[in-house]
Structure formats: structure tokens, C-alpha cells
Amino acid sequence: MKLLTTNFIKCSVKACDSNMTSFPLRYDNQCELELNYEDDESIIEKSYQFLVGILDKIDWDALLKVCADLGNNDLPPNKPLLTQDSLLSLNDNERLILKQLFNLLINTEIVNGSMKCDSCEHVYLIKNGIPNLLLPPHLS
Amino acid sequence: MSRPEEIAPPELFYNDKESKKYTENSRVQYIQYVMTKRSLELLNLKESSFILDIGCGSCLSGEIISSASEEVNAGMNHYWTGLDISPDMLEQALIRKEEEKFNNDDDSNSDDESNGEIGGLRNGDMMLHDIGQGIPFRAGSFDAAISISAIQWLFNKDNNNHDPIKRIKRFFESLYSALTKNGKFVAQFYPANDDQIDTFLQIAKQTGFSGGLVIDNPESKKNKKYYLVLSCGTMSSNDANDSDNLNLSGASMDVSNIHDKKELKKKRGNGMLESKKSFILRKKELMKKRGREVRGESKYTGRKRRDRF
């Protein structure tokens, strides 16, 4: 599961819908991560449009929390500012930010581990990069 | 036509063997390809988006969503998240993902100027989930959602505490909130009867979606395809030119046109017997509509052969 997805997935129990603590899920710090670091600008460039679009939607506080759960406390406290217009003339600093975002959000995957809903305490397992979101009968 | 929906619940029907058969069958692949392409065409996306693939199976559709070589995706690089209830299907997807990785590594070794292929299965994520339990994503997650041959499974009552109508409601409500405010949803599905279409349209309308049903190849029995085309924002089919809107032509929220055919039949039964010539012309017209090759009409069409001596 990509780290990007952790910023959108929430508990699927209906009763947790109205509960703010059901997002983001709490990730076990024993989660096994896989990072396919991409250095080639020409590949990342093709995802610039998507990155800027998704950056607008990302809940930065939730991302900080998930990264802290997984043992990374080095993220800047504020969301970097980028718009579709700024893509037309990128400076080196912005290129670096986009590259780091790309590697963080898309190339970092949680392969094995678990995540827990803070509201109903249900634990979802992640195996081979696929989280199991099926609910037992008493919760669905 | 056999309906897998009537045989077993989805997670059991698509077992190891069936999933493999499904994924490797070239005809299934082709049909999935055509329907996914058509759905993307209906979605009419203008920039790289985050897409939800409902009932992704072995991600045959996901591969096409993020494939850069498709005309509908020109200049865009979509990312997607797939949901499916069958673990065996997802396993097939994992196998395919490994194969893709392997092939790509091979390419880059032999040819340094491969220019870095993008897209494909690595643009996606998969999850094991039952869509009747709702879409487990926070509000405003996805720009669009797509579903190929999946949502008719919602009508199954595979379990004593399954209530299909409740599950469909939960599905549409949670989907509505998981989409952005101008989010769009296109679903190709196989309805068992007209009631199922009505139910989908009604519940979608209650949830707040606008849009309707698009029927491709309506005259053909085999190739008739139903697409549910919905949008979160308000829109009318008059604004079809608006570039942001869904590509809607011939979609309507009411189902009256589906029933037309039955009435036509009734009328014909009551009327006088038609002549041989008009019968032949009518059948020819029908076959033409179904895309068959038909001999052109001439002054000899439907005429009696001259008697031999």
C-alpha cells in the first residue's frame, strides 16, 4: 500500500463515520516498508501534474502523524506550496520538493504490518502490500 | 447467458482457478479493455487524477486507467486505488505486477534509451474490501470512480444479515462522500432485469448524484452494455459541451426508453400481418443496427424468384 493511500483511507465501520478519530488510522511501528527510490527526473516529471493536484487534497497533519507512526519525524511542519501555475517555471528547490514528495507518497509502500482505528479499536492487517478491510459480521 | 452472480458469492466464485481463467482469457481481456476505455471516455477527465476502481479484480482495468499509451489518457498520468472482495483475484494482480516489474527491468538493461515507461500496475494500490460495507475513504479523496462489471453483485444476498438495498444505499452514500465535489462515477454493469436498473438509478438519485444511464449497442443482445454515469455536482445534459462535465449523450435518469421495445412488440401483435418484403427490410435494418454485414437493398429485395420452367 502506497503511503499516499494512508492519507485517504479510514475505518470502514459505519459507526466510525462521524467520529473524527477514525482518520488517520494508527500504523504499527513494526510495519515493514519498501522504498523504491526514483532518481530519474524524466520519470518523475510525468507525475508533476498529479502530484500538485493531490498535494492540494492531502491532509498534511495526518501525513505527519502517519510518518511519525512509521518512524519518520523529518517532514516539514507545513505543507509545501505549489500550484498548477508554478509548474510552468520550476526552480531547483521546487523540483527537489516534488522529487521528495514523489518518493515519499508513491514510491514508499507498506508491505506488511497492521493499522488500527482509534475509534473502534479494530485492527486491519496488511499483507503483501494489500490491506484487508473486510469486517467481521458483528461490525458490518 | 449464464450469470456468475447466481452461482456463488463473489469471493467464492472467483477462486484460484476461476481468477486465473478470467485473467488469462484473451476474450475477457479484450472486453474489459473496450469497456474500460469507453468508461474513461465517459468520465472525460482533463488532468491527471486520483481514481477509485471499484471491483478491480485482477486490475485489468487499472492497467488501462494508468496506461499512457491510450489515446483517452493523452498527456495524463492517472493513479488509482482498487477495491475487490476476492483474494484470489488480487493475487492474480500481484502476480501480474511482479511480471510487469520483471519486464521493465529487462527493458532497461537491454535498451538504455527506454525513456522510462510510466503507468501500468505500479500506479495503483489494491485493497481487499466488500463494497457493500461502504467505501472506506475520507471525504473528497477521489476525482473519479470507475467500476467494470462489478456493482450488479450488490444485489446478491449471500449472507443472512445481508440486505441488498441497505448495502446499495451504504455503497452510494459512502461513494458520494469519498468523491470530490465535482467527482464523477462511471460504472459498467450487467443488470439481471430492469428492476435492478431502476433501483440503482433511484438510490443514486436519492443520494444526491445526478446523471443517468448510457446504453451502448442497444439493439444487440450480446454486445448491449449498460453504463451508469453519475456526477456529484449539479449538471444537466444540456451542458454537454462544458469541458468539465461528463461526456453524456443519450443518458437519462428515467428508464422509460427501455420499456419502449416491449410496447412496440405489443403493437405489432395487434396490427395486421406485415408483408414479406417489409419483414425482410425490418430484419435487415435490425441486423445493420447490431453491426452485422448486410447486403444492400435493391429493387429485387424481397421479390419472388421467377418460376423455372
Indicate whether B83 and B24 sit together in one domain: yes
Q: Residue B12 belongs to a domain with what CATH number? A: 3.40.50.150
Give the model's confidence band at B289: pLDDT under 50 very low, under 70 low, under 90 confident, else very high.
confident
Largest separation between any pair of C-alpha atoms in chain B: 83
User: Residue B129: which of A2, A12, A106 has the nearest Cβ?
Assistant: A12
Let me know: does B216 contact B227? Beta carbons within 8 Å.
Answer: yes
User: DSSP letter string over B124-158?
Assistant: EEEEE--GGG---B-TT-EEEEEEES-GGGGG---
pLDDT of B225 over the 80 cut: yes
For A54, the closest chain B residue by CA position comes to B50
Backbone dihedral angles phi then psi of residue A35, each to the nearest 5 degrees: -120, 115
Q: How many structural domains is chain B composed of?
A: 2
Please identify, among B232, B261, B285, the residue that sits at the C-terminal boundary of a domain. B232
Indicate whether B142 and B290 sit together in one domain: no
List CB contacts (< 8 A) between B126 and chain A: 129-130
pLDDT of B52 over the 90 cut: yes
Give the model's confidence band at B174: pLDDT under 50 very low, under 70 low, under 90 confident, else very high.
very high
Q: Residue B76's pLDDT is what?
A: 83
Q: Cα dihedral sign for B236, B40, B134, B174?
A: negative
B267: in domain: no
Q: Sketch out chain A's domains with CATH numbers.
A: 3-12+22-132 (2.20.25.10)
Q: Residue B269's pLDDT is what?
A: 59
Let me know: does A21 contact B149? Beta carbons within 8 Å.
Answer: no
More confident: B275 or B198:
B198
User: Residue B47: which of A43, A49, A132 has the nearest Cβ?
Assistant: A49
Q: CA B157, CA B83: separation in Å to the nearest integer?
A: 20
**Alpha carbon separation from A92 to A64, A97, A113 (Å, rounded):** 24, 9, 36
The verdict on a CB contact (< 8 Å) between B85 and A134 is yes
B237: in domain: no
| pLDDT tens digits along B95-134 | 888 888 787 766 555 443 334 456 678 888 999 999 988 8
Q: Indicate the pTM of the whole model.
A: 0.81
User: Residue B116: which of A9, A11, A40 has the nearest Cβ?
Assistant: A40
Q: CA B17, CA B29: separation in Å to the nearest integer?
A: 16
Whether chain B has a CB inside 8 Å of the CB on A57: the answer is: yes
B226: in domain: yes
B256: in domain: no
Q: Residue B161's pLDDT is what?
A: 78
More confident: B174 or B2:
B174
Indicate whether B40 and B147 sit together in one domain: yes
| pLDDT tens digits along B230-279 | 998 765 444 444 444 555 554 544 444 445 555 556 656 565 677 888 88
Indicate whether B46 and B144 sit together in one domain: yes
pLDDT of A80 over the 60 cut: yes
Looking at residues A112-116, what average pLDDT do you find?
Answer: 91
Please identify, among B232, B255, B286, the residue that sits at the C-terminal boundary of a domain. B232
User: Residue A53: which of B47, B83, B128 has the nearest Cβ?
Assistant: B47
B282: in domain: yes
Please identify, among B232, B263, B284, the residue that sits at the C-terminal boundary of a domain. B232
pLDDT of B171 over the 70 cut: yes
Residue B10 sits in which domain range? 4-104+120-232
The verdict on a CB contact (< 8 Å) between B134 and A14 is yes
Q: Compute the mean pLDDT over every residue in chain B, rounded to the nearest whole number.
A: 81
Q: CA B64, CA B71: separation in Å to the nearest integer?
A: 11
Q: CA B71, CA B261: separation in Å to the nearest integer?
A: 35
B114: in domain: no
List CB contacts (< 8 A) between A10 and chain B: 136-138
As a whole-number percent, the residues of chain B with pLDDT over 70 amount to 82
Indicate whether B10 and B141 sit together in one domain: yes
- Candidates B83, B125, B174: best to mutate against A (most CBs of A within 10 A) is B125
Q: Where are the alpha helices (DSSP H) in chain B?
A: 10-13, 16-24, 26-43, 60-65, 87-110, 164-178, 194-207, 256-270, 276-289
